[in-house]
Structure 1
Amino acid sequence: MFIQNLLRSVMFGVPIGITFLDTVGYVAKVEGISMQPVLNPESTDTDYVFLSRWAVRDYKVERGDVVSLVSPKDPNQKIIKRVVALQGDVVSTLGYKNQYVRVPEGHCWVEGDHTGHTLDSNTFGPVSLGLVNARAIWIVWPPSRWQSLDTKLPDSRKPVSAANL
């Protein structure tokens, strides 16, 4: 009887758990300094964030959102960056091959908050919205850093011209 109940629990629990992780969200460890000071403010800190898959289910991202995406340079790596510009926006780049870039349809421009210490759109250009898989909405660990993530875009990184403002 015990084995039968255990199997029944596993048969129902695993699919429900996988569905939750695939559609609602999950907690992920943030490594590196590219998003300092917002994430991992000290080099010794490691933040864990709740990544909401639900928030980007229709490819709806906003300027200032901190998002998780598949790296355009290495499809086996996930990176976390801030959305600076959306399709149609013109952005002033920081060392990209062109000083100004109009973000193409279906793409966004992402940057790390720690300018100069990040591989972002200034390295690989506009990113397809299809690579964005979640939005970071809350720092969940360590407890001393519990807080929602600010979606405010620094004035210095706002698009030169925005398509839908």
Structure 2
Amino acid sequence: MAQTGFGRRYFKAFVSGFFVAVPVTVTVLDRLAYVARVEGASMQPSLNPDGELSPDVVLLNRWSVRNYQVQRGDIVSVLSPKDPQQKIIKRVIGIEGDFIKTLGYKNRYVRVPDGHLWIEGDHHGHSFDSNTFGPRIL
């Protein structure tokens, strides 16, 4: 008899904790930060130095991007222009108003438009980045 009462209390505590934890977790992941897996060679050697053998896992800060606090040198995640279902992780080389000397883009020099970033992978020649598709919207 005592076991049944304990089991019910435990179950109620678990359920109430679950209904608090899930919305809090979803809010944190939506507004503050989320975990992403880094695959591929475009950010080597900074990220994923061992290649496909052991992909890196990173925590991405959404708060800074929401408040437009992105600076040169930051690593960001953006939707791929090739496949909008996929995110790519690159380093910010230029912010709005900067003039960039490109590595094979259609123009040798580009002014980054307002509200855009110039992003590149650390492993030049192995990266699908702004040198291929141009400035990205922030």
User: TM-score, normalized by length of structure 2?
Assistant: 0.87
Q: Letter of the aligned partner of 2:44 in structure 1?
A: Q
Identity %: 57
State yes or no: 1:6 paired with 2:11: no
Higher relative contact order (CA 8 A, sep 6+): 1
Q: Unaligned stretches of 5+ in structure 2?
A: 1-7
Find the counterpart in structure 2 of residue 159 from structure 1. none
What is the alpha-carbon distance in structure 1 between the residues aligned to residue 12 and residue 49 of structure 2? 49
Structure number, greater radius of gyration: 2
Match of 2:69 among 54, 60, 68: 60
Find the counterpart in structure 2 of residue 46 from structure 1. 55
The aligned length equals 129
CA root-mean-square deviation = 1.3
What is the alpha-carbon distance in structure 2 between the residues aligned to residue 74 and residue 46 of structure 1? 21
Give the number of the structure whose residues are more often helix, by fraction. 2
Q: Deviations over 1:68-94 (max 9, x none)?
A: 111122210011000000111110111
Q: Letter of the aligned partner of 1:87 in structure 2?
A: E
SS at match of 1:122: helix
**Contact residue 73 and residue 124 of structure 1 kept, 8 A:** no
Find the counterpart in structure 2 of residue 82 from structure 1. 91
State yes or no: 1:69 paired with 2:78: yes
1:1-150 to 2 correspondences below 5 Å: 1=8, 2-43=10-51, 44-129=53-138
Q: Unaligned stretches of 5+ in structure 1?
A: 130-165
Moved segments of 4+, more than 4 Å: none
